[in-house]
Every structure is written in structure tokens, then in C-alpha cells.
A and B are shown apart, each in its own frame.
Chain A
Amino acid sequence: MAKAKSTVPKPEEILPGISYKTPAKGWMDVKPEFKPGTYCNPANPKWAEWIEYPFRRNWSVTEEDWHLPADWKEIILQGMEDRLNRFRSLKLFFDICVRCGACADKCHFFLGTGDPKNMPVLRAELMRSVYKRYFKPAGKILGELVGARDLTEEVIKEWFYYLYQCTECRRCSLLPLRDRHGRNDHPGPGTVELHRGKHRVDHGLGGPVL
């Protein structure tokens, strides 16, 4: 415990640094920075074993190499396709979000960090960009112009970082499409549907890989 206290910043240290200004670079080019206190650690083998979950490997968030399995990309895309076929909410909200941005200042994680990728709309876009790239003709052809991007290890790290920063409170979902958007950003590893369906967040989309 003592060790954790020394690395995790205190509220007084974080608060003055919050501002709602956007980074100079576009969101596709900004990489997540794993600062202490902003991410969860991967499960300890002991706990995974207890609840009879498969334990894949020992890895650490702060290391450069996450030791992803060789076929991680296929696993993710297959998982995404499977979920698109099983949840209308996911497919529908991926398709109809108008990015009006009304959800932004409803998210306490956005308000508390000022990180634009914590706006529900952009958090959803982190996954939606991959959906567009691999499941939509427009994304396959036009790429970045329609907000599509390749699935890379950096994207996985970004998902891990931002999707787990959502508690699925669904406050954003009280707004119009938006939150249906709320539903939209759930489709991450921590989809509400996945949550209920699979009982555990890490069994979600990122589960088989992370």
C-alpha cells in the first residue's frame, strides 16, 4: 500500500493541470501516456485461477512490449464481428452517432481529466475508427478521411487506457443519440452488454488478447 501511495498523484497535484484545451496533434496521432493512477493493472495469475478464468501471460502495462499473442489482430476483429452480430445496440450506435458532442461535459472522467479522448463521443470513436476501417466500405477506401484507421498495437493500448476509464455509468446516454452513444462507448472491452453477458470486463473484446 505504501508503495502505491507514493506513485499515485494526489488530487491537489492533478487539479491545477486540468484544462479543456485540445492537443495540437489530431487524436489519431496522440498516444496514451500510462501515468500512475490512471490505469488498472492486469490480473494477477492467482486471481484469474480462482475464478477459473484462463490466464494468458504475465505482462505489465508500463512495459513497451505487451506480449500480445501472434494472432491478436484476428482475435480482435473476430471478436468485434461476433459482437456486431450479437448486439444491435453496438452496430446501430456505431452507425448513427452524429458526433454532436453533447455527451462531452456529461462525462465526469472527461471533466476530471480534460483529456478529449475521455469524451464519450471520442472514446467511442477509438473503436468506431477500427469498425469503419474493417467493416465499412467507405472506411476501407477513404481511410482517415472518414475517421477510419488501422488496428495497431498502439490502438490496443489506447483502448485499454481509455475504455477502462469508463465506469459505464451511462450518464452520457441520457442525451440523444449521444448516448445511445453511451451505449456506443461501452462496446469497448467494458461493454455493458459484454458485462452482463460475460460477467467480466476482461472477457470482453480485449479479453482474449489482453
Chain B
Amino acid sequence: MDFFKRHFTVALAAVLGLVLVAYLGVSAKLQLIFGVVAPYLAVLIFVEGFIYRLLQWSRSPVPFQIPTTGGQQESLPWIERNLGDKLDNPYTTKHVIGRMALEVLAFRSLFRNLRSELRQDPENPGGARLIHWSYKWLWLGAIAFHYAFLVVVLRHLRFFTEPVPGFIQLLDKVDGFFQFFTPVFYLSGAVLVVAVAYLLARRLTNPMLRYISLVPDYFPLLMILAIGISGILMRYVYKVDVVAIKQLTLGLVTLHPTVPAGIGPIFFVHIFLVSVFIAYFPFSKLMHAPGVFLSPSRNMATNTRAVRHVNPWNYPVKFHHYDEYEDRFREAMVEADIPVEKELE
């Protein structure tokens, strides 16, 4: 089996295996394990792992001012900078925050994405021409996916609160705006699944991407897809007892866990996949969520010309001064008619 097939198959098998484990577990009357123990364990691992990773990162210093910059840097007063320059090349903390906000909320840098392709060049039949064009699909897929995921997560809060706060009810109404059928159809669920499917399809069909993709790339995508599909099936196809589920989830947050009878197995598949996903989060690339904020290339101001930054562990550097240089090369310099500070004796 080649590299790509091996990596994709292993990820797919892992996800299907998890589904099967939960399904068999429920058949064996292990509801308590999948409905109570797994979620608690997952949250515990998530919180500890998350903090551990943040501490790990923050233990390493940021010795240099290394923001990634586009646009005109703050310079002499007569060199103009528009708002775009200020946000791309921030000089003040305010603009650093603005840049980070654009990055986190609007995926600004992904919006610049281009696509390049070699095309036959009519003017040069023997060769090819490199063409770049704007390519927003990745941005669109990514932003649709992340926002849909956010809405889905927030919507789920109604299972963990009683009474359900107003903003969740409002979100529910907006999300269920398209009342195609009963139960109310949630737009976010559909967008989530379609966007994840696009991101997965992109990985599978683009040869270069397929070449670099590993199990840790496929696994989260397949997990989210499986979680989304199991949720949608649970809502629209295999109807489950929502009142009993809410009893279970409220029991979890109030630390009085109970497992009411009569909840369909698909719920346990869903909650088990979510638990594994949550536990997996801190040890995976999904940590790019907090990592964005810690990225030295994104959270620093470009003030290297105005402010002196000293490397905390710098060692004394032995400088090679011009006189030493000239001492070494004086003869050759004179010979080549290069002016020297001190003439030959």
C-alpha cells in the first residue's frame, strides 16, 4: 500500500473503529461508560492537556522581534501608510490587536491565497507560462467550516443549561430560519458537513496535498465528519429521546450523572466520538486555535527600527572592525585603487 493510501486508510479505520466500539459497547449495556465516564475523562484530558501545551510553549522565550510583514512599514513621516498597511504591518499594539482580530475572525491571511499553474504558452510553444490567480475557495471552505462549527457548539449549550439562555434561543431561531420540515432544519449542521467534506475532498484530490497529508490530517476531518453525520442522523432520521438526553447532559454538568433508559445507540456513538475528539484536541494540530494567539510572527509589532530589542541570551560578540579588515587587505586594496584610510608604509 502506498504512502497516501496507508495514511488515509488508517485514519478512516480509526474513525470507523471508534463508531463500532461505541455501538458494540451500547449493545453490551455499557451506557455508563460511553455516556458518563468517557465525557468526564475527555474533559479532564482536554483541560489538562490544553494547559500543559500552553505552558510548554510559553516556556520557550521569543528572543527576536519577528513579525511577518506585508505592506509599508512605519517609517519617515512623509511615507504614507493607509489602514491596510497599518494592519498588515502593525506598529502599535492597537494595530497588532486589529491584525490578530482580522486573522482570527476573518482568516485574513488565508484570503490572500493564490493558486499557481503552469499553462501552455501560445507565444512560446516550447515552454510553459506560470499563471497565478486569486483562489478563495480554501478561505471560503475554512471560514464556513469554523463558523458553522462555532454555531453548532453554541447551539449545543441548550443541552447543558436550564433554563436555556436567551442568546442560545435566538441563535437557534436564526439557525433554523429555513423551516424546510419538522424538526426544524439547522443550517449550521449542513454547512459544517459540506465544508468539512470540501476540505477533505481538497486533501484527497489535490496531488500535492495528498502527497503531504498524514493520518493526523485525515483523522480530525473524518472525526468531525462522523460527528456531524451522527448528529444529523440522530436529529432527522433515527429520532432519539431528547428529553432523556437532556437529563443525561444536565446530570453531567451538575455532577449528578444519570443514564436514563431509552436513549438510542446513535446518541452514544455521537457522544463517544465527541469525547475522543475533545481528548485528542490538545495533542494534535487542532491546537492551532490557541497557537494563533501565541504566534510570534502574528502577535508582535514591527517596530524594529524604532525600538532596540535585546536577545535575552545573547553572548558577547567579537566584532570585526573596519580597521582590522583594512589591515588585512591594505596591499590588495591599494593595488586595486580602492581608497584606504591608512596609506601603505
- Report A's interface with B, CB cutoff 8 A: 15-16, 18-22, 24-29, 51-52, 84-93, 95-102, 104-106, 111, 116, 119, 121-122, 125, 138, 142, 145-147, 170, 173-180, 182-183, 192-193, 196-197, 199
Contact = CB atoms under 8 A, between A and B. Distances in A.
Contacts of A193: 63-64, 66
Contacts of B128: 15-16, 18
Contacts, number: 172
15 contacts: A16-B128, A20-B118, A27-B211, A29-B3, A88-B57, A92-B57, A96-B288, A97-B285, A99-B213, A99-B217, A102-B110, A102-B113, A145-B215, A175-B109, A182-B68
A146 B283 CA distance: 12
A119 B212 contact: yes
B208 interface: yes
A180 B68 contact: yes
B98 to A, nearest CB: 16
A48 to B, nearest CB: 14
A210 to B, nearest CB: 22
B75 interface: no
Nearest to B59: A85
A174 B127 contact: no
Given A28-B3, A91-B57, A92-B294, A22 B215 contact: no
Interface in B113-168: 113-118, 126-128, 130, 132, 138, 142
A126 B54 CA distance: 25
Interface bracket on B = 35 or more
Contact of A138 (B2, B10, B209, B283): B283
B311 interface: yes
B212 to A, nearest CB: 5
A42 B32 CA distance: 64
Contacts of B256: none
A173 B67 CA distance: 9
Nearest to A102: B113
A93 B213 CA distance: 17
Given A27-B212, A95-B53, A174-B112, A89 B285 contact: no
A143 to B, nearest CB: 11
B29 interface: no
B58 interface: yes
A170 to B, nearest CB: 6
A29 to B, nearest CB: 8
B207 interface: yes
Nearest to A103: B113
Given A92-B291, A180-B297, A101 B57 contact: no
Contacts of B118: 18-20
Given A85-B60, A116-B212, A145-B7, A16 B126 contact: yes
B217 A88 contact: no
A96 B63 contact: no
Given A95-B287, A96-B291, A174 B60 contact: no
Given A145-B215, A182-B297, A26 B2 contact: yes
A58 B213 CA distance: 39
A120 to B, nearest CB: 10
A183 B292 CA distance: 13
A179 B297 contact: yes
Contacts of B3: 25-29
A168 to B, nearest CB: 11
A197 B2 CA distance: 41
Nearest to B217: A99
B101 to A, nearest CB: 14
A106 B135 CA distance: 12
Given A105-B115, A145-B215, A91 B207 contact: no
B4 A177 contact: no
A84 B61 CA distance: 10
Interface in B32-67: 53, 56-64, 66
Interface in B281-336: 283, 285, 287-288, 291-292, 294-298, 311, 313-314, 317-318, 320
Given A97-B285, A116-B211, A175 B60 contact: no
